[in-house]
Chain A
């Protein structure tokens, strides 16, 4: 019992050392499954720390700003943005691509790392998936409002109508509608299915009537029977298989919005893989940005360990190098193609009127992530936090550079026009961050941030071939008397089956 002191989870323990022949622990300092349940559930059961209220106030304030900006836009028209002819896409689509990209880490962690049996995913998958969903919501906002007359946003979908008018099926913009809506649906279902057993745990621990009914409703009558678990595992595996191609397809299709056009700087075949790498890059950076304060505030350092962060920083390094390769390859092709316009587009990117945006992008996306070659930096909380913020900034600027520099200076110098954002552009951008923050903070407050049941499966005690059989039994027998009576004698939390003969 003494292990569940109030400081538990607030201190970093180093589990990043590689010992040959041994798997490093992914759950630190806990030997009982019930402790994990408690560590995760206490976040929602206890009042949140002051910082949560501050962050929530800021976020909801930004949502208000978003509301003002969008209302003004809807009542006045897209002219309130800094758009012009030829720059008809700017902050709106920059934000759209940015947020869709952020989502990709969640899907990669939940689907691909699951299929590759990367057990460290269990510590971070839940909130990475939540992040995906909230990011796609923010992304979906922008195409919706940039159409100008939002009441016609349903024209994005091929619905039979009195005008006999259909979207252009040969246009990647329509493919995008399908890609993003499929992505959102699959991510949401995947996230929700994974939540069900943990919602049942929350239900069983809840003391308030409202919580019991709310968690009970959404846990769909989960009782934790073997049949439930069997179906759950099958469903989860199938959804992982469904989500896996989406990791690659969604941002490929987003990149087609540009690559299929004829504009110099957009019309390149490298875009799909380059966009996917960039999406995973930015997504992992966002996971680190969110995980660092979350584990600090809510005392989850034994579950989201330094090893998790170290692994994510390695992925940021790899994808950052891929993005850097793509940047240089764009320049190489611009030169090698001998195409005058292509060459101009890229020289103009680096040295034209938006040179500062280009060099912010290169510094944040290519140069600073190189620091992650050093383990000391990969495991330093403050440094990784700052670097992950840099990546977020850099990836936002990447989309800005791609979209705006290419549009502002196209084939005809007579039609060139610079883009300058208005306050509405800027308010909408920050407002979207506020929306994201609000949703994420509400998620932290009311839902289990870590996949309780899945994390337990990574503990050595969960392994049927676990060498120290007597310790496992010991831990199990203690568990029943532990804490809130939340039994977890086996791999999964034990739920009483109402159909059991004792009733």
Chain B
């Protein structure tokens, strides 16, 4: 009788099969929870930019305030990317002939924007208002990291929904006085006590909403 029975060596595979069967659901959960997360996929995103502009030089060494360029951040939802004219405020005087600034000068002459690559992208279906955050004690550094130390800007935080919610559920430790809002080196966890931070919650009337429609309008 010719019939297919499993050869004896397959018995050794049986425990493996059981282990695989038991761990497969866990693996799926792991892949979804960890693999699909922006923490894994997005953090560290550092596109190359058309101009070798260094935040580390301008915001770090020269100590320029974030708001000099991103000037709408306190009054609008969107933190403006500066027009070429903002660069040329200084660069008509400084490094006038630097080859690094060729695209900037070209843009200035032609009136066409410099095609900066956007690093911090939020999807269309999520609403975010910069002014609501920076006017009420959430510093730039909380979401963008130490931009003053970055030669080329990368994405420092995942900007995932769970990450947003973490802060909306308990914002206390992420708050600082508005006076320190663009001071990226200043750390409220060492400079302030928890009680002081809690007083900021009252002072700024922080009552972050967790409704779907807060961000998905």
Q: Does A161 count as interface, using CB distance less than 8 angstroms?
A: yes
The residue in chain A whose Cβ has the minimal distance to the Cβ of B32 is A159
Decide yes or no whether B38 CB sits under 8 A from chain A.
Answer: yes
**In the complex, are the beta carbons of B162 and A221 less than 8 A apart?**
no
Asked if B2 contacts A160 (CB within 8 A), the reply is no
* A215 interface residue per 8 A CB criterion: yes
The answer to whether A162 and B4 have CB atoms under 8 Å apart is no
Q: What chain A residues lie within 8 Å of B5 (beta carbons)?
A: 216, 221, 223, 498
Q: Does A301 contact B (CB under 8 A)?
A: no
**Cβ–Cβ < 8 Å partners of A165 in chain B:** 161-162
Q: Which residue of the partner chain, among A164, A216, A496, contacts B162 with CB atoms under 8 Å?
A: A164
Most chain B CB atoms below 10 A, which of A154, A164, A212: A164
Please give the distance in Å from A402's CB to the nearest CB on chain B.
Answer: 29
Q: Which residues of A contact B160 (CB under 8 A)?
A: 162-163
User: Which residues of chain B are within 8 angstroms of A146 by Cβ–Cβ distance?
Assistant: none
Q: List 29 A-B contacts (CB under 8 A).
A: A159-B28, A159-B29, A160-B32, A160-B33, A161-B33, A161-B162, A162-B36, A162-B37, A162-B38, A162-B39, A162-B158, A162-B160, A162-B161, A162-B162, A163-B160, A163-B161, A163-B162, A164-B162, A165-B162, A203-B3, A203-B4, A204-B3, A212-B2, A212-B3, A212-B4, A215-B4, A216-B3, A216-B4, A221-B6
A45 to B39, CA, bound (A): 56
Report Cα–Cα, A223/B4, bound state, in Å.
10
Distance in angstroms between the alpha carbons of A203 and B37 in the assembled complex: 47
Encoded as 1 (CB less than 8 Å from any B CB) or 0, chain A from 125 to 168 comes to: 00000000000000000000000000000100001111111000
Residues of A within 8 A of B29 (CB): 159-160
**Which B residues lie within 8 Å of A496 (CB)?**
1
Q: How far is the CB of A458 from chain B (nearest CB, A)?
A: 27
> Would you call B32 and A154 a contact (CB within 8 A)?
yes
In this complex, the interface size class of chain A, counting residues with CB under 8 Å from chain B, is 20 to 34
Does B51 count as interface, using CB distance less than 8 angstroms?
Answer: no
A213 within 8 A of B: yes
**In the complex, chain A residues 190-221 whose Cβ is within 8 Å of any chain B Cβ:** 203-204, 212-213, 215-217, 220-221
Residue of B nearest to A165 (CB): B161
Give the number of chain B interface residues (Cβ < 8 Å). Answer: 21
* Shortest beta-carbon distance from A159 to chain B in Å: 5
Could you tell me which residues of chain B, from 7 to 39, have a CB within 8 Å of some CB in chain A?
28-29, 32-33, 36-39
Q: For the complex, give the distance between the alpha carbons of A163 and B212 in Å.
A: 12
Docked Cα-Cα span, A203 to B5, in Å, equals 10
Q: In the bound complex, how far is the Cα of B33 from the Cα of A216, in angstroms?
A: 39
B64 contacts A by Cβ under 8 Å = no
A15 → chain B, closest Cβ, in Å?
Answer: 35
Closest CB in chain B relative to A389 CB, distance in Å? 41
- How distant is B99 from chain A, measured CB to nearest CB, in Å? 43
Within 125-176 of B, Cβ neighbours of A (below 8 Å) are at 158, 160-163, 165-166
Nearest CB of chain B from residue A227's CB, rounded to whole Å: 15
Q: How far, in angstroms, from A203 to B160 measured CA to CA in the complex?
A: 54
Q: Which residues of B contact A203 (CB under 8 A)?
A: 3-4
Q: Which residue of A lies closest to B160 (CB)?
A: A162
Residues of A with C-beta under 8 A to B161: 162-165
A162 touches B33 (CB 8 A): yes
The residues of B that contact A154 with a CB separation of less than 8 Å are 32
Which residues of chain B come closer than 8 Å to A223, judged between CB atoms?
5
When each residue 250-276 of chain A gets 1 if its CB lies under 8 Å from chain B and 0 otherwise, what string results?
000000000000000000000000000
The answer to whether A164 touches B165, judged by C-beta atoms less than 8 angstroms apart, is yes
Query: Which residues in B have their C-beta under 8 angstroms from that of A215?
Result: 4
Alpha-carbon distance between A217 and B2 when the two chains are bound, in angstroms: 14
Q: Which residues from B are CB-within-8-Å of A221? A: 5-6
Give the nearest-CB partner of A204 in chain B: B3
Which of B4, B37, B158 contacts A217 (CB under 8 A)?
Answer: B4
